Amino acid sequence: MAKSLDTSAIHPLALELGKLFETAGFELSLVGGPVRDLFLHQQATDLDFTTNAHPDQTLAVVKDWADTTWEIGKEYGTIGVRKGNEMVEITTYRADAYDPDSRKPQVAFGDNLEDDLFRRDFTINSMALRLPSLELVDPFGGESDLEAGVIRTPGTAEDSFSDDPLRMMRAARFAARLDIDVAPEVFTAMTDMAERINIISAERVRDELVKLIKAPAPVRGIELLVESGLAGYVLPEIPALKLEVDEYHHHKDVYQHSLKVLEQAASLETDAEGPVPAPDFVLRFAALMHDIGKPDTRKFEPNGSVSFLHHDIVGAKLVKKRMRALRFDNDTIKAVARLVELHMRFYGYGDAGWTDSAVRRYVRDAGDLLERLHRLTRADVTTRNKRRANRIAHAYDDLERRIEELAEQEELDAMRPDLDGEQIMEILGVSPGPIVGKAYKFLLNMRLDEGSLGEEEATRRLKEWAADQGI
């Protein structure tokens, strides 16, 4: 998998900083992800450095060179530096010990690079380049592991995960990012120690999950979380999708279907200029979670079929509950839950057709999630029956065509009643309050059902409505 080390891709700032530390009599190395990415010929987005200089010494070395420094991480040995448009972190060699019942390290500075590399999570992240000489330091075989496509730890996996249980999720995330495997002993430790993920804060778990979902091969990472048992603690709704299938009640494997929908949804993302730029967490997470209401709604029918009535509504509620537990922000929770709630809305369109009013409501209910909903609905088709798949695809093509036509006719994206709130109050002679909201809703529904009627007709209808309401 790995390629030769591409030193030509090293940022000039790294060499400049290396010379600065060398002149001052200190060691400095580029470390971790940026070195790994040099082997993969990928552009490193963050430059991380490690040094034998203590924080105050680092500040003294860079004070006349850097544009800005910050000391937020000084207690842990990290000094932030900005030079031009580049921001980097320089951390003193560490030799920490950890409280086994928490994740709070007893901070201790080390005195050599190899010891610092040993305390890092995986061998592929335990490589360094001494600066400015560009000597590769790889004491634990990170280069060969990268070449073999395997994730191992510098020491025992048990010790590494005991130090920081979040590393178990990081293993799944790197498997998803690099599309590689974890070593057998790493998987064993993940399985045996899965419960220890409970001591990690919800925020840290959330951040790792987001990175995994946005990775190039998210299905690989999710499968690893499920197979190791970690998902049972951080995302239990996913392993719960493994519904038993007996010989009398055959139905789709909901778990495998959900992974396929995730994979297909990711394939429908756009470039940076398109409506859903990749990688889109909201779309991908909704794809993964769209059927989590099925276990709670499964019913065996008298004719031998299986139904999941209202699993979309139940699933939306479960999504909100899980995402709140993981401390997601409200906007992201609402977006994912709304997609889950709406993912079944399209079905039936191909058989019965929709009125223009129904199409308008579909667009209104989706709001700014419409482009994601298009992709989720298409991704949700995983049947091997080509005739059925083609029929659904053609029906959705027709729906999108009608949405475009109505948008052109009525500026659907900015749909509003023919009268605004100020006009409603003036016509009805009322002040701001619930009556105005009810009148606005009446006019909006009329607009959705009949299209634009013009201000004159809308005023006549509003007055009739008000009379009926006793206003």
Residues 6+ apart with CB under 8 A from 236: none
Between 247 and 74, the higher pLDDT residue: 74
Instruction: Report the mean per-residue pLDDT for the chain.
Output: 90
Specify the pLDDT at position 247: 45
Q: 253, 200, 194: which is closest to 224 by C-alpha?
A: 194
Q: 37, 26, 183, 192: which is closest to 93 by C-alpha?
A: 26
d(CA 322, CA 285): 12
Distances (CA, A) of 307 to 201, 216, 301, 448: 37, 34, 7, 32
Q: Cα dihedral angle (52, 56, 59, 64), rounded to 10 degrees?
A: -110
Q: How confident is the model at residue 101 (pLDDT cuts 50, 70, 90)?
A: low
Please write the tens of the pLDDT for every residue from 287-335: 999 999 998 888 887 877 777 778 999 999 999 999 999 999 999 999 9
Q: 49, 20, 15, 19: which is closest to 34 by C-alpha?
A: 49
Q: Average pLDDT of 422-446? A: 91
Let me know: does 125 contact 94? Beta carbons within 8 Å.
no
Is 60 exceeded by the pLDDT of residue 104? Answer: no
Let me know: does 51 contact 93? Beta carbons within 8 Å.
yes
Is 90 exceeded by the pLDDT of residue 11? Answer: no
Q: Average pLDDT of 462-469? A: 92
Strand blocks (E) in 158-281:
181-182
d(CA 262, CA 285): 8
Q: Which residues of 393-413 are buried (b: 16+ CB within 10 A; e: fewer)?
A: eebbeebeebbeebbeeeebe
Specify the pLDDT at position 244: 55
Is 80 exceeded by the pLDDT of residue 97? Answer: no
Instruction: Say which residue the tokens 């991480």 belong to.
Output: 73
Nearest-10 crossing angle of helices 166-178, 218-228? 150
Instruction: Say which residue the tokens 């073999």 belong to.
Output: 148
Is 60 exceeded by the pLDDT of residue 464? Answer: yes
Q: How many CA atoms lie within 13 A of 352 on its CB side?
A: 10
Instruction: Say which residue the tokens 């909006």 belong to.
Output: 444
Specify the pLDDT at position 248: 45
Amino acid at 452: S
Specify the pLDDT at position 243: 74
By mean pLDDT, which of 35-44, 66-75, 153-162 is the weakest?
Answer: 35-44
Please write the tens of the pLDDT for every residue from 180-237: 999 999 999 999 999 999 999 999 999 999 999 999 999 999 999 999 999 999 999 9
CA 420 from centre of chain: 38
- Omega before residue 279 within 30° of 0, cis: yes
Is 60 exceeded by the pLDDT of residue 113? Answer: yes
Specify the pLDDT at position 46: 78
DSSP 376-413: HHHHT---S-HHHHHHHHHHHHHHHHHHHHHHHHH-GG
Is 80 exceeded by the pLDDT of residue 365? Answer: yes
| Length in residues, the chain | 471
Computed from CA positions of residues 101, 103, 106, 111, in that sequence, does the dihedral angle turn out positive or negative? positive
Specify the pLDDT at position 222: 98
Let me know: does 282 contact 313? Beta carbons within 8 Å.
no
Q: How confident is the model at residue 100 (pLDDT cuts 50, 70, 90)?
A: low
DSSP 329-343: -HHHHHHHHHHHHHT
Let me know: does 49 contact 87? Beta carbons within 8 Å.
no
By mean pLDDT, which of 54-63, 147-156, 357-366 is the weakest?
Answer: 357-366
Between 45 and 150, the higher pLDDT residue: 150
Task: State both tokens at 341.
Answer: 């709630």
Specify the pLDDT at position 99: 59
Specify the pLDDT at position 73: 86
Between 49 and 100, the higher pLDDT residue: 49
Instruction: Say which residue the tokens 């659904």 belong to.
Output: 392
Specify the pLDDT at position 42: 78
Task: State both tokens at 389.
Answer: 């798949």
Is 90 exceeded by the pLDDT of residue 376? Answer: yes
Q: Average pLDDT of 275-298? A: 95
Specify the pLDDT at position 96: 58
- Burial-class residue 244 by CB neighbours within 10 Å (0-12, 13-18, 19+): exposed
Specify the pLDDT at position 309: 78
Let me know: does 89 contact 80? Beta carbons within 8 Å.
yes
d(CA 160, CA 150): 16
Specify the pLDDT at position 253: 84
For residue 347, give the DSSP letter: T
Q: 138, 128, 199: which is closest to 168 by C-alpha?
A: 199
Specify the pLDDT at position 405: 85
Q: 328, 404, 330, 410: which is closest to 371 by C-alpha?
A: 404
CA 72 from centre of chain: 27
Strand blocks (E) in 266-398:
298-300, 306-308
Let me know: does 359 contact 403? Beta carbons within 8 Å.
yes
Specify the pLDDT at position 72: 86
Please write the tens of the pLDDT for every residue from 12-53: 899 999 999 999 999 999 999 999 999 988 766 678 999 999
Specify the pLDDT at position 325: 97
Let me know: does 360 contact 448? Beta carbons within 8 Å.
yes
Between 353 and 164, the higher pLDDT residue: 164
